[in-house]
Structures are given as structure tokens and as C-alpha cells.
Chains A and B, each alone.
Chain A
Amino acid sequence: MSKFVRYPIQALLYALFALVVGYFSTSPRYHLLKEGEGLLRLSLQHPGKLLVECRQRSAEELAKMPPNMRTSAECPRERSPVAVRVELDGKPIIDDSYAPAGLSKDGASAAYRRMPIPTGEHQLHVRINDDKNVQGYTHDRAFALNVKPGQIVLIDFQPELGGVVVR
């Protein structure tokens, strides 16, 4: 094969390589949401209440313990799971319970969920129970939303801001 034929074909094949690299570097575009959708996100990190209150040890109990471990109060570390129920326009879209972190279940519960929601006006109702010993929910808040295309509605839990917040 003559070099006058080979070199252009070589150049063409290298260009094809460049085309593949260049195209897949940005294309095809990945569609995160459909037209007319926003995104609802639940992201919270919150330690539930301690499951059992501290109690005072009796003198007999203390006597049976090694001297270096004789603390008068016994405080189990396990925390309550955090239950979350989210309703959008009266329909439950999240209804889950998040276990506390750690081997002793004494850490914070963390939740992350993401789902597209239609744009427009919605009623959002968020209820949270961070104490297993309490029936029902310990935090309850409703929001009126007007979701725009591509808008992120973030449900968070900030005790210093009064509990459930939407950002």
C-alpha cells in the first residue's frame, strides 16, 4: 500500500479515536429529571433519644462490682431509631425507620432519600419520631410548596431551628 494512501487512512483512524474520546467525554447528556419535575431530598442526621433512662445502682450491686467500675448510675447507651414519614399531597412517599449508628447503637441515625416530584403546588407533611417510647410522632410539620422545574426540596432536621425544616 502506498504511503499516500496509508497516511490519510491512518489519520482518519486516529481522528475516529479522537471522535470517540471527544464525544463520550460529554455526550450523550444524561437526563437527571424529566421535564416538569423537581427533586425531593430527605437528608438528616439526628441522634434518637436514649432508650432507657439512667438508674441508680443499689449498694448490693455496687459491692459486687470491681472497685474501679463502681459508678453509682447505670446509663445504657442505646438510642432510639428515628422514624420518618413524609406525605406529599396526602400520599405517603417515605415511611421508614433509621437505626442508630455504631456497634452499641449509640450513634446518630442518618437518612438519605431522593425522588423526583412533579412541579407545582404541593402539601408536604413531615413527621418524625426520635423516641421509641413515645407513641405517634415527636415532631410534626406541614409545608406548602410551589416546586419549580429542577428545584431541590431538601427536608432536614435541625433541632436548633425547631426540628423539621425544608430548604
Chain B
Amino acid sequence: MAPASLRLSPPSVAGRAVHALDRRADALFGEGSNPLRQLGALAVWMFWVVLGTGAYLYIVFDTSAAGAYTSIDTLSTQQPWLGGLIRSLHRYASDGFALLTALHVIREWALGKYSGFRWFSWVSGVPLLWLALASGLIGYWLVADTRALFVATGIGEWVGAMPGFGAGLMRNFITSEAVSDRLFSLLIFLHIGTALFILLGLWIHLQRIVRAATQPARPTTLFAAGTLLALCLVLPGLSEAPADFSRVPLSVPIDWFYAGIFPLMQLISPIGLWLVGITGSVALLVLPWSRRTPRPAPAVVDLANCNGCGRCFDDCPYGAVVMAPRLDGRRHSVQAVVQSDLCASCGICVGACPSSTPFRSIQQLVTGIDLPDLPLSGVRDQVQAALLTHPGATIVFGCDHGADVTQLDAPARVNISLPCSGMLPPSFTEFALRHGAARVVVASCGEHACSYRLGGQWTHDRLLGLREPALRERERGAQVQLLHAQKGQEAQLHNQLIEIETTQRASATPPPHHV
């Protein structure tokens, strides 16, 4: 049966690779603890570790040119189990932050999560990359060892190549006499300042994300903390020899996560590195507008059917629905208003609306909030029409971003794909059963694998009666099944469906709602 939903462009090769990796990692870690699904949250967690350990280091750091090196080096030599450990955590958490941030960017790009309504989150993340680089590099400078001198020289040569700074910048740290106490005061100010700007930038980055997952799942956090701690114990972060302005070490053990730009600079010149950095940033900034895929129409509110209950406001994963004072003079104090620019057209608000019940006696089903491209009345009509021709069929509600249910054609089976399983009001399952369906299967992407973040969780909670609108308790049974199936898992879903159908037929119990 043809799906009612809008079809999406197929995922790219990179997207398919990410989906395949996710499925393997889900099997290993469990969907909720899969670190690949929590790269952003893990990066934020690493950043908190950096901030926490940085607070201690700031207390003990000597901002004089003569004392900076010793104040950090003695942490490792005189208090390895406290200061040394904290210092190592600071270093490796900042490295982990850099690596996880890079993986987070690559993953979101591969999954195509950078355009349309997501442009703001993508664009606001770009300055964070520069801030992270600046904060990390300045942090290495503070240690005042040979690695610091390498970083200082690299920064001086790089920034000095910019018009307005000039070659004179290098003179501030080319000899020991030129390095003053004020330089280290300035550096610590810049180091902490950029870190605080990262915090501000993260807040902006998450502005259009409701219930942003900034904390990884508990098992993931425990594993990450254990890993970080083990790394610090096995390979503690240590200072190199004190900076010597009269000598260059033949080789330096640089931190490639941050200082890796300087070997590149040696190859392509400081101006070349600026060109790479600026071109790369501009490319990232314009990427959201590089795709010509038309955006589906945003959800619309029908005031005659909106009682201002706020469930769509509660459930929208992107804050696209707000409650505003009523404009139509009805007795309800507020009404839902859709901010079109923020709307993902996922339909989760439709599934949340109490007026989205297909049992309403009105001729044309009109709900309080609906998708113009896929109105709920169309879904109801599709269910009714399908059951007229296929009485006793299995109705499968799938998700456009999950396993493609349109590939699961089988006798006595009706497949309907929605933009998100969260669009399905729970009462639709009951409606289908009363109109002759033998059973209803909702194939969701999973509670932690939803392309629209919260659709899988809301679907689960609504069908289990944990969240309004909830499926009535007496309807929860063998006739309504919730399965998890992601893109690429069509075969597994098909097998699960066959198993369900076979088992229920064998039990020979007539469906209770068969009419």
C-alpha cells in the first residue's frame, strides 16, 4: 500500500555508514548507552570536567613569568595523586572534548542534520570550534615549557601574519626578557575568558533544542569517567623542560588535537592556514543552505479545535510551538502558536493534541494542530479505506526516518509511514482495531534513536500510558505492539511482524474489537 507520508531523500553514503555503525553499537552498548548517539552530550560532559579541574589549576597557578612553569610542574612531581591527577584530567578531558566535538560535527553532517530548521544549531556551533581551538592553545602556553614555546611561536607567527598585528607581535615572546608577568596574567584571562565564551556559545547552540541532552546516560558517564581516570593514571600529563629562548628542541611532543595546525602551517604558510581556516568556516556556515530539498510545510493550528492545553508545547522537541494569549475570544486563556522557522514538520505535536482522536464524529477530521502536507484526516481515511479492502489486516505505522515499512508488503498487511512515530495519536491504534484490524504495530526508531529527538520516547510513553495522550489501559495488549526498527532493519522488522502474526493466528483468539 502506498504510504501517505512525505518521502525523504535517501541518506547519503556517509549517512548509511553512520546508521550501520549505530545499529552495531546499539547491539553492543544498548540504544540508550550507545556513545555514538551521545557525542554532543559526551563533549559537553568533557567540557564540565575541563572547567572543574581548571578551577583547581587556576587556584594554584602562578601568573609570574618565573613561577608559571614551577607552579604547574610541581603538581605532577609533588602531588601526583591530587594536583597531578587534576592536571592530567584537565588535559585529557580537553583532548576528549576536541575529539568528541569533531566526531559530533562529522556525525551531524553525515546524517544531514544541518539544514532546514536545524540551521541555527549548526551555524551557532561553528564559532565554538574556533573558541575551543583558542582556549586549548592558550592553555598549553600557560605551562611555560618547550611545548608552550612551540605553541607561543606558532600562535605568534600565525596571528602575526594577519593584517593589523604584524611581525612585531612575535617580539613579545621571542626572548626571555620580553616575557613579562603581565603576559601570563593576560594569557590566563584569555584562557578562562574563551572557556566562558564556549559556555555562552553552548547555551546559544542549544537554544532551539528543548530538553537538550547535555548529560550522557549514566552507564556512558561511568565508562567515560573510568576511561579518563585510567588514562590519567597510566599516562599522566607532564611538563616538558622549561622554555629556553636560546634553543629549539629538535622535536616536540605536541598535542595534535590543538597544536596540529602548526605543522600544517609550516607546510602551507601562516596565510595559507588562515585561508584554510576561514574557507572551512565559511563552508560550514553556508552548508545549511547548500541543500535544495524543499522544506515540508510547518504545522498549523486550527483555533476552533485548540483548547490551549499546551501538550503540543510540552512535546515539541524544538520549541516551535509556544502558548500565546488567545486571539479568538474563546473562553480558553491561551492558544498554541507555531513558529514556522523552528518547525521540523515532524508531527509530534499532532500526536500530542487531544483533539487528534479519529473517533470524533465530525465529517472531516480536523485537529487542533496538523501538518498541511499530511493531514491527520488523510491518515484516518487511509486506515479506513485499507481496512475495507483488507479486513483483519495488520496495520503497521512506521517512521520515514526508521525502517522503511513500505518495503514490507505482505498479504493482509497495511503499511503507513509517518514523518515520525510520534505523530501517531495513540487512539489511532484503537480506531484501527475497532475498524477491523487484527493488530496494530507501531514501528518506532527507538526511544534514543529518533531523528526528531523525542518522538520515539513520546511514542513509547503514550502507548504505555505514561504520557498524555495515553493509550487506554484496556487497549494495551497483544493487539497493539511497539517495535523498534531503524533504517536498514527492514528485514528484522519483517521477521518480527511475521512472528507476531503467526503467534496470534495460532492462538486463534478472535480480535476483541473486530467489527
Contacts and interface: CB of A to CB of B under 8 A. Distances in A.
Contacts of B231: 18, 21-22
B235 interface: yes
Interface stretch (A31-39, A57-65, A132-140): A31-39
A9 B25 CA distance: 11
A107 to B, nearest CB: 9
Given A18-B227, A22-B234, A24-B255, 8 more contacts: A17-B96, A18-B231, A21-B99, A24-B260, A25-B91, A25-B257, A29-B251, A114-B157
Contacts of A29: 251-254
Interface residues of B, number: 45
Contacts of B254: 26, 29-30
A167 interface: yes
14 contacts: A13-B28, A17-B227, A18-B231, A30-B262, A32-B248, A32-B251, A32-B252, A38-B248, A110-B167, A112-B157, A112-B167, A112-B168, A149-B250, A152-B246
A83 interface: no
A45 interface: yes
A13 B247 CA distance: 41
Interface in A3-46: 6, 9-11, 13-15, 17-18, 20-22, 24-27, 29-35, 38-39, 41, 43, 45
B92 A30 contact: no
B257 to A, nearest CB: 6
B250 A43 contact: no
A6 B166 CA distance: 56
B132 to A, nearest CB: 15
Interface size range of chain A in the complex:
35 or more
A71 to B, nearest CB: 31
Determine chain A's interface SS by DSSP, over half rule. mixed
Contacts of B256: 24-25, 27
Contacts of B157: 112, 114
A1 interface: yes
Determine chain B's interface SS by DSSP, over half rule. helix
Contacts of B247: 150-152
Given A101-B166, A112-B160, A152-B246, A25 B255 contact: yes
Nearest to B231: A18
Given A41-B174, A43-B174, A26 B255 contact: yes
Contact of B250 (A1, A14, A31): A31
A14 B228 CA distance: 9
B171 interface: yes
Q: Quick one: which of A17, A21, A151 has the most chain B CB within 10 A?
A: A21
A17 B250 CA distance: 29
Given A10-B29, A43-B171, A33 B92 contact: no
